[in-house]
């Protein structure tokens, strides 16, 4: 039997970057607006942390792909100079 936290984490992992970012924006908006109980605020904070991690993983993955593409391009350009 999986816990609610594990289920929430699994759902977050399935989110795309834009979905996670949009939900994170909504969480921040709700926290900034106030009017929530301490428990609700803590739950929102935890969800925001989880969403921020999802966004960071997507951005890190994008950076790795760009770095790999740039490295390939640099290697190809370096190989052309040897001719």
Give the mean model confidence (pLDDT) for residues 64-69: 96
Mean pLDDT value across the chain: 88
What would the mean pLDDT of 42-49 be, rounded to a whole number? Answer: 97
15-19 contacts: CB < 8 A, separation 24 or more?
A: 15/51, 15/54, 16/58, 17/54, 17/55, 17/58, 17/59
pLDDT tops 50 at residue 19: yes
Report H helices in the chain: 4-13, 17-33, 38-81
Q: Residue 62 and residue 59: Cα distance in Å, rounded?
A: 5
- Top pLDDT among 11 and 32 is at 32
Q: Rounded to the nearest 10 degrees, what angle do helices 4-13 and 38-81 cross at?
A: 30
Number of domains in the chain: 1
58 is in which domain, residue-wise?
4-81
């Amino acid at each position: 039997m999986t816990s609610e936290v594990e289920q929430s984490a699994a759902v977050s992992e399935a989110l795309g970057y834009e979905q996670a970012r949009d939900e994170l924006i909504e969480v921040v908006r709700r926290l900034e607006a106030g009017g929530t109980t301490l428990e609700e605020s803590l739950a929102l904070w935890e969800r925001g942390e989880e969403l921020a991690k999802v966004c960071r993983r997507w951005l890190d993955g994008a950076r790795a792909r760009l770095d790999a593409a740039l490295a390939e391009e640099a290697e190809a350009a370096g190989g052309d100079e040897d001719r």
